[in-house]
Amino acid sequence: MSTMPVVTLATWSGAPDLSDDERELPAALRARGIDARVRVWDDPTVDWEDAGIVVVRGVRDYAQKLDQFRAWTRSLRRVINHPDVMEWNTDKHYLLELQKRGMPIIPTTWLEPEVGYSKHQIHSRIPAHGDFVIKPAVGSGGRGTGRYTSTHAVSRQEAILHADRQLSKGRTVMIQRYLEQIEQQGEISLIYFNGLSQHMVVKQPMLHTSFRSVDDVQEEVASAREASEEEWRWGEQIRRAIHSYIKDRLGRDEQLLFCRVDLVRDGNGGFYAMEVSLIDGSLYLGTVDGALENFADAIAVGAFW
């Protein structure tokens, strides 16, 4: 009988063999003495009692099956990141928790479904000028997101209908001004494994002017760049805010196997925290030499601990 530790990489049916940049991860784990497996998280034929340590990766459909996903994470003997951490991260209201802890976020108008907004009330909450973005507070892979122009009558009407559809499904809607800094300087992602800084990528703008809400996952185009001391400093501030909340929620701090912090320049010498990915966000392992090996090392630390 094998005494190798078991690690199961949980993915989704849209990528049953993992994403392109993580496909070699099982082989890297096996080279480290780990019995590595890949399973679709909601496959009813999988015996999760025999899964060992479950590492949640590209579960890009969790938002469409949110209650099922949350119940599944809590049914596992050992899963990383922690189920409470993932539950918090499923809903972008977590940005408000970061803001309470001193982190600037993109100014956002939150429309809650229980209020029962009329189309006119939605209209009155849309910016009077410039481009803006509408997105659901619970979503993954860019689904349900659209970019609109406030001074274009047809675009504005499309935005109202978009928000109304989301609200009618019981979803919180976020309205954010589109930041031109994304076009000029890009959005950056800082990646951490087991609390240690790893690499940074710059992502190309995804929401072009004609981008509209879609149901398919939107793949980001990213390239590696060395992060500046300032960028890592901002990333560390956000990480501290995350761990402050985790400690408040769990009564203790919790090691995060992986953490991705997305930032964008605020136009005033600082950054906004755009998003934090602790569930299924890409870690861009294919953009940096050695990144996949580093992630395998980070998983192995937990597997042999």
119-135 per-position pLDDT tens digit: 999 999 999 989 999 99
Q: What's the pLDDT tens digit per position in 241-264?
A: 999 999 998 888 989 999 999 999
pTM above 0.75, yes or no: yes
- Residues near 265 by Cβ (< 8 Å), separated by ≥ 6? 179, 181, 185, 271, 272
Residue 67 tokens read as 């209650």
Res. 2: pLDDT tops 60: no
Q: Which residues of 202-230 are buried (b: 16+ CB within 10 A; e: fewer)?
A: bbebebeeebebeeebeebebeeeebeee
Q: What's the pLDDT tens digit per position in 148-189?
A: 999 999 999 999 999 999 999 999 999 998 887 777 777 899
Class of the CATH domain delimited by 108-177: alpha beta
Q: pLDDT at position 178, please?
A: 87
Q: What's the pLDDT tens digit per position in 67-108?
A: 999 999 999 999 999 999 999 999 999 999 999 999 999 999
Q: How many CA atoms are closer than 13 Å to the CA of 234, on its beta-carbon side?
A: 25
Q: What's the pLDDT tens digit per position in 261-272?
A: 999 988 888 899
Instruction: Determine phi and psi for 261, rounding to 5 degrees.
Output: -110, 120
The burial class, CB within 10 Å (0-12 / 13-18 / 19+), for 86 is buried
